[in-house]
Structure 1
């Protein structure tokens, strides 16, 4: 481990160096700096694995150093030295991605505990990078074939490509978070390769809610869901007239809004789209997600009935899909600003 110690007190620096040298962690080099600017220049010349810095120093203090370093190195592990009266500043540093802090005067046992934690994290990171690199090397050919299958919308080859990639990933000793991260990065790689083909796919990433896909993958741990979503978008890019599945869904909602058991699952079955891309396309078409669209439609229909019919307010609720009148009244008032009864009176309903 390559370490840089930053403190304006030489006694602190030397004491910490001694503790580090007596610890059992694997040390490559320990360098010292007396202020933030000197440390910054050291790190520009030769990066390190761990930066241990005091907060209050002349010229450039610890917080300024951390802020500057984070501009050029997002992954550097940082531990701060903090006195008992400096905890507020320690909290501020932690918001900048500091891993831990060491209280002065230093306790060798506690310092060693922090060093052990840093070393463990670095070992895990190197292991993860190594395994991911192996995965990419093993998957390159299959990714290229999968991209071509997506380009051609060859669903049989897409399925074969998915199976081969999942086999290769599963053969590596990755834990669950690492598997999810590998799939997320493979997904980004695939999107980049498709965009590189140009044409209507040049801005494919803009049509894909990567964050939504990542959440779905993290929850379901299935790469195939994400790839199916990409296939959905490509299919719609191939023929934008195929926005019709969404229009069919909208027509279906207008026809069946009074059904209190109307669900998103029915619309997914009707359109054949994945949940992720139904959400994206439906919102692009209507400006709302399915739930909000249905609520607004039901309330508009309720307003019409309150204005033009002799139905009692609870009957109006039932006729637009609400079997629970208090729930209907609450939603109605939140959108209209009046209760159904007051709205009927105010608008001179029958």
Structure 2
């Protein structure tokens, strides 16, 4: 998928080029246009294109100056210069800025399609030359996902530094470096989304990054932003969510605590929490809470000074008959029978 920017001060030419590009059959993410070099440079800083088609003669900033600034900003962007016969010598000055492709006016459909085919082939070679294995990206993200989810910040900091150094060894150009960071961010977002956690903010904007250091800084800040968000959702608690839920249930056995209330307390989506709890305990939330209530009731029944009616309230049953029925279903005995079997009258 490629992003294209067309810069020309003549609206009809811009529209014509855009149509020819759309008809090329190449896979395009976006095709944007600009009426001069200055406007084009603004758009490039907002979202980096893969290919730029630029006229030579434009107001405010001409094509030559645009090429010069692009060479300084990002030499990986492939530029196609469009010129008339009278401007050809002038256009050749762009050679020093890395421009290798020209289109002469009037531009034909075949010429545009041939140039695009060439640009795509060159781009594919560049990406292959600086290839980072997908399996390696997935390994990094598997580790990162685990550390982010469990809020193990010191380990996450070490992992990020290790990742930064490893990426540095690939000697990636800015464009490819940004591609890799965006891919990492996307993989992390997918992993977190399977946990269904609060729609955590995982958007990464690398548009206009001046160098790999700035791109990395934005990426790392995005990761720490997710951590801060997750900590805030969990009210600053970095414990295992299921263990924390168990503790909360234990502390509130005498109350009619709902699954939604516990999920909100530990900072998880209720639907995801329900799945996570069942997967971890092999019991539903209600089954676990009932079992813990009955276990507590058995301990209290072993103490003669507790009345059975008081015990039902201690374990969250305001309706005594309901407690009696549940206890018998769980143990096979009525509360009074359970006590008698223990020799307690």
Q: TM-score range by the shorter chain?
A: 0.3 to 0.5
> Which is bigger in relative contact order (C-alpha 8 A, separation at least 6)?
2
Q: TM-score, normalised by structure 2?
A: 0.38
Q: TM-score, normalised by structure 1?
A: 0.38
